[in-house]
Amino acid sequence: MAVVITTSPGFGKHGRVPDLIADRGWEFIRCTDTTKADGGVSAEIARADALVVGLVPVTAETLAAGENLKLVVKHGVGVDNIDIAACTAAGVPVCNTPAANADAVAELAVGLMFSMARFVPQGHISVTSGGWNRQIGTQLGGKTLGIVGLGNIGKRLAKLALGLGMKVVATDKFPDQAFAEEHGISFLALEELLAASDYVSLHVFGGADNASLIDEKTLSLMKPDARLINLARGDVVDLNAVAKALENDRLGGVAIDAYRSEPPDISHPVFRHPRAIFTPHSGADTREALENVGLMVIESLDAVFAGNTPPYCINAKELGLR
């Protein structure tokens, strides 16, 4: 019987996924104890055949202890918390679930744009506290959305924004020129995008390459009334710089879904600013997306346990699987 452990609180709970796991007869273990830094992985990893990863890091030490591991698969897209080089050295395939939650994240980005444009959180607080503070907002139509990272999520967001009558510009390390030409999207350097945009939405991976991509210098390039959305990773944005920009009226608003540490330290001044909106890393949290992600994880698990090359394998070439 295969032993599957997971550090993802959402894996195995949505749609058809629980029944599919039960049908396969795996020993399924949740390592989601929030009182432990690793969720409890260290107590179970030695006998695990597969590790389904949430936000807990997968390190070389994890791989060394997991001597029976046949697969590491991310319950999601971003793999910046997985030491892929260590997995490759250990001969362990690493998979993720590309595009499975793209619609969910893109739709939340649109929702956050509307929330900032029309002061939705502030209006809610005003009414429920007995007030009647009607604020004059702005419409999204005719505004420019800058998408930093035009991958699966960024492309879905672009289509939604274009449908609202917005102009879309983008920056990407590997620009898809065909998609951009088809939809009338201009690729700009990051600095140009920040200067041109009324809304900036971040959809890049975390890690050293994008650490503090949005900092005091890059924020200074944005329009004073522009709004920033971070649905990527917490380390992409310097919160100190964001708080300072908001306080000095050099940023119109910010919406944040991802944090350097989770839950975040809410003593930081940015959490007290009235033009800041926060969500609990819930960009992918729809029933549909969670089922899609779970089904793709099971697809990879099935393949590996059958002795086949798993789909969506990130290090397949390095392992000589393709």
Residue 160 tokens read as 């939604």
| Domains recognised in the chain with CATH numbers | 3-100+286-319 (3.40.50.720), 102-278 (3.40.50.720)
- Tell me what pLDDT residue 34 has: 86
Catalytic site residue from 75, 227, 250, 281? 281
> Is 74 in a helix, a strand, or coil?
strand
Other CB atoms within a 10 A radius of the CB of residue 233 amount to: 23
pLDDT category at 322 given cuts 50, 70, 90 is low
Residue ranges of E strands in the chain: 3-6, 27-30, 50-53, 71-74, 94-95, 144-148, 167-171, 186-187, 199-202, 227-230, 253-256, 276-278
- Per-residue model confidence as pLDDT tens digits over 34-91: 889 899 999 999 999 999 999 899 999 999 999 999 999 999 988 989 999 999 999 9
Average pLDDT, the chain: 96
DSSP annotation of 33: -
- Per-residue model confidence as pLDDT tens digits over 10-39: 999 999 999 999 999 999 999 999 889 899
In the residue annotation, 47 being an active-site residue is answered as no
- Per-residue model confidence as pLDDT tens digits over 306-318: 999 999 999 999 9
- Tell me what pLDDT residue 237 has: 98
Long-range contacts of 138-142 (CB under 8 A, 24+ apart): 140/113, 140/114, 140/164, 140/165, 140/166, 140/199, 141/165, 141/166, 142/166, 142/167
**Are the C-beta atoms of 222 and 197 separated by less than 8 Å?**
yes
Catalytic site residue from 75, 203, 233, 250? 233
Give, to the nearest 10 degrees, the angle between helix 102-117 and helix 287-305: 160
**Are the C-beta atoms of 146 and 170 separated by less than 8 Å?**
yes
Residue 43 tokens read as 């107590």
In the residue annotation, 281 being an active-site residue is answered as yes
pLDDT category at 139 given cuts 50, 70, 90 is very high
Checking if the pLDDT of 124 tops 80, the result is: yes
Q: Is the pTM of this model over 0.85?
A: yes
- Tell me what pLDDT residue 45 has: 97
- Higher-scoring residue by pLDDT: 208, 160: 160
| Residue 97, Cβ density class (10 Å: 0-12 exposed, 13-18 middle, ≥19 buried) | buried
d(CA 279, CA 148): 20
- Tell me what pLDDT residue 283 has: 95
- Tell me what pLDDT residue 273 has: 97
Q: Which residues lie below 8 Å from residue 264, measured CB to CB, with a gap of 6+?
A: 234, 271
Q: Which residues lie below 8 Å from residue 171, measured CB to CB, with a gap of 6+?
A: 146, 147, 148, 149, 150, 187, 188, 189, 190, 193
In the residue annotation, 203 being an active-site residue is answered as no
Per-residue pLDDT averaged across 130-157, rounded?
97
Beta bridge partners of 156: none
- Per-residue model confidence as pLDDT tens digits over 207-245: 888 999 999 999 999 999 999 999 999 999 999 999 999
- Per-residue model confidence as pLDDT tens digits over 187-210: 999 999 999 999 999 999 888 889
Q: Which residues lie below 8 Å from residue 17, measured CB to CB, with a gap of 6+?
A: 11, 290, 291, 294, 295, 298
Catalytic site residue from 262, 272, 287, 288? 262
Checking if the pLDDT of 114 tops 90, the result is: yes
Checking if the pLDDT of 269 tops 90, the result is: yes
- Tell me what pLDDT residue 55 has: 86
Other CB atoms within a 10 A radius of the CB of residue 261 amount to: 8
